[in-house]
Amino acid sequence: MRLAALDPQLSREGLRVGQNLADARAIKPDMVVEEIDRPLLVAAFAAFADWHSNASPLVSVLSDMSAFGDLVLDITGVDHLFGGEAKMLRLLLKRLRDLGYRVAGAIAPTIGAAWAVSHFARSQIVVPEMLESVLDALPVHGLRLSDKQIADLGQMGLATIGQLRQRPRKPLQARFGLSLLTRIDQAFGVIDEKLTPRLPLAEHMAERRLAEPISLLDDVLRVTADLSVQLAQDLEAAGLGAQAFHLFVYRVDHKVMTLSLNAARVTRDPAHITELFRHRAQRLEGEYDAGFGIDMVRLAASSTELLEALQTGAFSTENGLEDIDRLNDRLASRLGAMAVLKSVPVASHVPERAVRLVPALAAGETRLEAPLLPRPLRLLPRPEPIRVMAEVPDGLPARMEWRGQTYRLIKGEGPERLGAEWWRTGQRLELVAPPKPQEQEPGEPSEPPPYVPDLQLFLPDAGTRDYYLVEDQEGHRYWVFRQGFYSGEKQPAWYLHGVFA
């Protein structure tokens, strides 16, 4: 067991992070030791990192050395909002220290350089011209190396980054691997190092910093309505529309609440965007917690596409599709994405496999060119057995019995012959994709999965089907099929598969 963190007093008495616990107790027998809760720290620091998106839209947790403690912000193009890089760095460090945290920070051209300077030098701003001189004076620990690599470098007498860079690269790679050279190149900007934003990357945004904190959900929605107008104007000026919208609500107790939703089609209508968030907020009202107040609200848009201005005057054409999309948006916002489904075609000639249900807001719909064949408006989830009588074995059905009732058939056409998909034998029919398994926290009650119909594949060993469209004496039309053929004493089975309007 080793020490993971120390208070300032123990640090002054000679204890250090990473020291063996037994050695530490020999130096300070009366010290108080508590076991570190790493999952709790990781979750708390992740939420704390999201709060920093009020300073920069690109915020990431650098988990190379630890899953918590290292925060990276890309401040390209945002430092002028704080009066320059120096004032921005002082502000970010001050507000963390005011909350009781010990913090060090640095601004540098690369992620590796900023990490090294913040850990092994005083908080400062490193300009590109000073990058080499500043990094060369730092210890090799600043390259985010493994403990074994650092120990081996110490045995070679290489204590600083400058001493390490003077050595030939090929022998270093042969002994320490490519990772050592990669860390050096990343720190000095030879290789780009990308950060992974924790929150959705906003292409366009509008925000409002409040002079006095607010707490009511209705007040947040009013601010959202104003931000929707600003965001719509920004999108209109760029000739764009968006399909994904994200609401960030920043609390004064360094926490942030996020709410994201998708629209069925690209839009920039501020009234429609406001209504979507209003419906979603009503669904999540029980989980809303303003804490000690909200001092900033940001509305962002992503998944943008070109959206030309539309004419809505006397000569415009209304086909009703936009109203259907708006209805789908509102229902999905209020009830959830999996509560509103639509059918999309699937490359299969077997009727129960030719359509699949997906969320109505899902993008990337597949369009398949299929022959225009008569199909019933209502297709049964599973074909139901019926009894059929015909004048001749292979003739049109003349009478059928279904669900205890007898129907006299006066018209019919067919057959339409469909062969079995032999390559699918033994598979199960899934109208909705099964949900992905999620890890459950200890003691947390299990939530029922969304509705997933568990329909077995109808007769996986079946052969050819002959479909008939028949009509009874009252004008009702049915879609029936014969499974198999007449062969001697073997009689085929009949099923009803759908009902026409």
Same-domain pairing of 230 and 299: yes
Packing angle, helices 270-283 and 217-238, rounded to 10: 150
Q: Check residue 406 and give its pLDDT.
A: 93
Q: Is residue 354 part of a domain?
A: no
Strands 204-214 and 294-306: antiparallel
Domain end call among 188, 223, 253:
188
Q: Is residue 344 part of a domain?
A: no
- Residue 46's nearest CA partner among 35, 32, 34, 61 is 61
Count CB-CB contacts under 10 A for residue 292: 11
Please count the structural domains in the chain: 4
Burial 166-185 (b: 16+ CB within 10 A, else e): eeeeeebeeebeeebbbbbb
CATH label of the domain that carries residue 233: 3.30.1490.100
Q: Is residue 484 part of a domain?
A: yes
- Residue 400's nearest CA partner among 462, 481, 459 is 481
Burial 38-76 (b: 16+ CB within 10 A, else e): eeebeeebeebbbbbbbbbbbbbbbeeeebbebbbbebe
Same-domain pairing of 136 and 157: yes
pLDDT tens digits, 250-283: 998 888 888 888 887 888 999 989 988 988 887 6
- Per the CB < 8 A criterion, the answer to whether 124 and 133 are in contact is no
What's the Rg (C-alpha) of the chain?
Answer: 33
Same-domain pairing of 396 and 490: yes
Count CB-CB contacts under 10 A for residue 325: 17
Local structure of 157: helix, strand or coil: coil
| Residue keyed to tokens 């300077």 | 117
Q: Is residue 366 part of a domain?
A: no
Q: Is residue 369 part of a domain?
A: no
Same-domain pairing of 156 and 48: yes
Between 242 and 13, whose confidence is greater?
A: 242
Q: Give every CB contact of residue 201 below 8 A, 6+ residues apart in sequence.
A: 57, 58, 302
Q: Is residue 247 part of a domain?
A: yes
Work out the average pLDDT over 406-422. Answer: 85
Same-domain pairing of 79 and 172: yes
pLDDT at 431 over 60: no
To the nearest whole number, what is the mean pLDDT of the chain?
Answer: 83
Same-domain pairing of 18 and 141: no
Same-domain pairing of 51 and 184: yes
- Residue 498's nearest CA partner among 383, 331, 372 is 383
pLDDT at 461 over 80: no
Q: Is residue 194 part of a domain?
A: no
Cα angle, residue 167 at apex, residues 166 and 173 outer, rounded to 5°: 135
Q: Please report which confidence band the pLDDT of residue 318 belongs to, taking 50, 70 and 90 as the band edges.
A: low
Q: Check residue 346 and give its pLDDT.
A: 79
- Can you tell me the distance from the alpha carbon of 134 to that of 121, in angstroms, rounded to the nearest whole number? 9
Same-domain pairing of 57 and 146: yes
Task: Please give the residue range of the domain that contains residue 246.
Answer: 204-308+324-329
Same-domain pairing of 221 and 269: yes
- Per the CB < 8 A criterion, the answer to whether 389 and 406 are in contact is no
Overall residue count recorded for the chain in this entry? 501
Domain end call among 122, 157, 188:
188
pLDDT tens digits, 352-409: 778 778 887 776 555 555 556 788 888 888 889 999 988 787 788 999 999 999 999 9
Q: Please report which confidence band the pLDDT of residue 495 belongs to, taking 50, 70 and 90 as the band edges.
A: very high
Same-domain pairing of 212 and 142: no
- Per the CB < 8 A criterion, the answer to whether 71 and 115 are in contact is no
pLDDT at 438 over 70: no
Same-domain pairing of 292 and 183: no
- Can you tell me the distance from the alpha carbon of 246 to that of 200, in angstroms, rounded to the nearest whole number? 8
Cα angle, residue 319 at apex, residues 313 and 324 outer, rounded to 5°: 110
Is this model's pTM higher than 0.75 or not?
A: no
Work out the average pLDDT over 164-183. Answer: 91
Q: Give every CB contact of residue 219 below 8 A, 6+ residues apart in sequence.
A: none
Q: Is residue 350 part of a domain?
A: no
Same-domain pairing of 52 and 20: no
Which of 148-152, 180-184, 310-314 shows the lowest mean pLDDT across its residues?
A: 310-314
DSSP 141: G
Strand partners, 256: 250
Q: Check residue 296 and give its pLDDT.
A: 92
Work out the average pLDDT over 282-302. Answer: 85
